[in-house]
Structures are given as structure tokens and as C-alpha cells.
Amino acid sequence: MTLPRSKLVGAVYRAHHPRWAFDPVSGEGAARHGGRFNPLGTPALYTALRPETAWLEAQQGFAFKAQPLTLCSYDVDCADLLDLTDPATLSALAVAPADLACAWEDLADRGQVPPTWTLARRLIAQGAAGVIVPSFAHRAQSEDRNVVFWRWGAAPPHQVRVVDDFQRLPRDDSSWR
């Protein structure tokens, strides 16, 4: 089956713990802990199409007490994405919106494989570089969308480069020792 692929050219955003500001394109934390759209052991870079969405995503565990974050913008020129916010794409992939919204952490904690992990494995095997998905963060609205990258680098066709023109991000983690 030919996947209904999209290309994204523009900006995405990511808010993360300042401890990891020296490595803003790493997907290793996601690989170590798993995520909604990446099984354990699969690196992923979770980003958002709006800075507000990145903030919502990063603050999920601290809804009433915002914690410090590093908000980064990324220049993207990435092909081979699948837009899972598009009903036609979901239909072509035989994916139900409820599968995307599954309680993935609860399922994984109970030793079950979340449907989003099965989907991610299938799409990665079929050459997808990532997916555009709804945000499931508390208080997310319909315009809140994320882009999860499974394949990315410094140049097209899967470019995701952090914007740091003035070299403000730390170069290593020495300030955390």
C-alpha cells in the first residue's frame, strides 16, 4: 500500500527540561522511556506546531505549578510524514481516532502493547519519517497538533534543525554537575 505522505516545511517547537538544553535534537529520552508514538527503544523527537502546544505538552505533569522549561524552535524541511489528523489518512491506514487517544501509559504499565506502538512500528517499517498527530495534553484544543519524528537530521529530506543563531544553548551538561 502507498502511504499518503506529507511534507512539512516551516517551524516546530519543543519545550523540555533545561537539563537537556545542550542536546535539543536528541530522541534518547523518548527511546529510554517510550512515548505515545514510540515504543521503548525507539528514538523519537516530539515537537509541536505551535509554541503554546509545546508548553501544554511539557507541563502535563505540572498543570497547576509550571516548572522551568527550555523552549526551542526548529527549522523543518521533512518529507515522508503522515498526517494522522486527516480523516482520509486515518481511513487509508485503517486507524481509528480512539487508537490514537489510547491510555498508552496505562496499557504499557500493565504489560500490554498500546495500539499507538503497533502503529508506530508499522509506519516506521513502511518508511515514514514521522507523524502529525493531535495533542492529547490536558486543555488541548483542535488546533493543538504535534509532530513526532522517527527519522531526522540536519539536512533534507528529513531536516529538523534547532534554531540557535546566537549560540545561547549550552554545548554540554557541565552546568548540571
The count of structural domains within the chain is 1
- Per-residue pLDDT, 1: 62
Residue 24 within any structural domain of the chain = no
pLDDT of residue 52: 95
The answer as to whether 16 is a domain residue is no
Does any domain span residue 127? Answer: yes
Distance in angstroms (rounded) separating the CA atoms of residues 115 and 112 = 9
Contact 11, 85 (CB under 8 A): no
Q: Looking at residue 103, what is its pLDDT?
A: 96
> What is the domain range of residue 83?
31-60+71-163
CA distances from 104 to 38, 64, 134, 169 (A): 10, 23, 15, 32
Is 96 part of a structural domain of the chain? Answer: yes
Q: Taking Cα atoms as reference points, which of 3, 8, 2 lies closest to residue 132?
A: 8
Q: What pLDDT is attached to residue 20?
A: 85
175 band by pLDDT with thresholds 50, 70 and 90: confident
CB atoms within 10 A of CB 133: 20
